[in-house]
């Protein structure tokens, strides 16, 4: 059982760390100061969530310290989806990713608030309250830009098309899926995906855009099993540049 829970905790923590890292890259270059501030806040929340999840792994499952888990594992050990690894691109991609990803995050934590894994259920209740504001941010900007100028509409539709099959990679199942559901740890990726699809479809259609057609073979799977896009290694190399100068030192 513990391997199944560990796998779930790792994929959630890795998603949060990597998307938090990406969000932080907007510091200083946002389309307006207010968006620098917003992405910076979301980055801090997400990285904090990652730290909290690694702390559960450390305290309840005998894994190394959060710093070691976050900063000193190899690329293949990461279980994040490929969607969060993608570079920030232009603001249209980043805001569409934020919108799609955070709806999934909110529903995931909402479901996990009932988990039989007690430390995770406790954390989920707290995190849910924070992600609510991320969803609010994503929805607000998604709607306004989808209904703004001709250029912004076209950009949002195009970014949605680019992000769609990557976003569906969030719901990639691991070998432990059945076990997690049977033990009441998590309601499962299919349930999450179903709820997510209903939620984002409603917002996208209300904003006057179209949900791209899903082609199963195009879904960007692999991340949950350690097969990542080319971007994760680059990100990790950069992220660990300082700590690797002296891994035994206290920083």
Partner 1 sequence: MYGSTNLTEEEAKRMSTTQEDPEKLEAFEARIARGEKIEPQDWMPAEYRKQLIRMIEQHAHSEIVGALPEGTWITRAPNFRRKLALIAKVQDEVGHGQLLYSAAETLGKTREQMLNDLMSGKSKYSNIFNYPAVTWADIAVIGFLVDGAAIVNQTINSKGSYGPYCRALERICYEESFHLKQGHDNVVYLATGSKIQRDMLQAAINRWYRPLLHFFGPPDKMSAHSEKLMKWKVKLASNDEMRNQFLDMYVPKILELGLTFPDPNLRKNNEGIWEFSDPDWDEFKRVINGDGPCNKERLAVRRYAEEAGRWVRQALMNPKDKYQVPLA
Judged by CB under 8 A, which of 3, 116, 144, 201 binds partner 1?
144
Binding of residue 24 to partner 1 (CB under 8 A): yes
242 contact partners, CB below 8 Å, separation of at least 6: 251
Q: How far is the CA of 220 from the CAs of 6, 71, 87, 170, 224, in angstroms?
A: 23, 25, 15, 9, 11
Tokens of 91: 């603001």
Binding of residue 202 to partner 1 (CB under 8 A): no
Question: Dihedral, CA atoms, 149, 154, 157, 159, nearest 10 degrees?
Answer: -110
The size of the interface with partner 1 (CB under 8 A), counted in residues, is 48
CB of 62 to partner 1, least distance (A): 19
Judged by CB under 8 A, which of 40, 60, 174, 183 binds partner 1?
40
Q: How far is the CA of 245 from the CAs of 21, 36, 66, 91, 236, in angstroms?
A: 20, 30, 19, 33, 14
CB of 215 to partner 1, least distance (A): 29
Judged by CB under 8 A, which of 71, 132, 212, 233 binds partner 1?
71
Q: How far is the CA of 129 from the CAs of 32, 93, 242, in angstroms?
A: 26, 25, 33
DSSP 239: H
Tokens of 215: 């082609």
Judged by CB under 8 A, which of 32, 74, 216, 217 binds partner 1?
32
Q: What is the residue whose two structure tokens read 């998604």?
A: 142
Binding of residue 145 to partner 1 (CB under 8 A): yes
CB of 185 to partner 1, least distance (A): 25
Nearest CB to partner 1, comparing residues 113 and 243? 243
Binding of residue 138 to partner 1 (CB under 8 A): no
Binding-site ranges for partner 1 (CB under 8 A): 21, 24-25, 27-37, 40-41, 43-44, 47-48, 50-51, 66-67, 70-71, 90-91, 144-145, 148-149, 151-152, 155, 235, 238-243, 245-246, 248-251
């Amino acid at each position: 059982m513990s391997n199944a829970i560990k796998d779930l905790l790792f994929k959630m923590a890795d998603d949060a760390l990597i998307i938090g890292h990406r969000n932080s890259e907007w510091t200083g270059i946002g389309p307006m100061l207010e968006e620098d501030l917003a992405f910076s806040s979301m980055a801090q929340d997400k990285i904090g969530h990652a730290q909290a999840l690694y702390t559960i792994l450390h305290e309840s499952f005998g894994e190394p310290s959060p710093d070691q888990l976050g900063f000193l594992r190899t690329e293949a050990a990461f279980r994040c989806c490929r969607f969060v690894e993608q570079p920030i691109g232009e603001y249209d991609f980043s805001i569409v990713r934020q919108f799609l990803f955070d709806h999934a995050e909110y529903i995931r934590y909402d479901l996990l608030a009932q988990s039989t894994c007690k430390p995770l259920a406790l954390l989920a209740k707290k995190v849910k309250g924070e992600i609510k504001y991320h969803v609010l941010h994503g929805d607000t900007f998604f709607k306004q830009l989808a209904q703004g100028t001709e250029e912004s509409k076209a950009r949002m539709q195009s970014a949605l098309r680019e992000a769609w099959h990557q976003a569906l990679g969030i719901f990639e199942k691991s070998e432990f899926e059945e076990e997690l559901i049977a033990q009441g740890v998590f309601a499962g990726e299919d349930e999450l995906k179903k709820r997510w699809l209903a939620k984002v479809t409603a917002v996208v259609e209300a904003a006057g855009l179209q949900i791209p057609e899903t082609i199963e073979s195009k879904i960007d799977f692999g991340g949950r099993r350690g097969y990542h896009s080319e971007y994760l290694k680059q990100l990790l190399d950069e992220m660990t540049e300082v700590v690797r100068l002296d891994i035994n030192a206290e920083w």
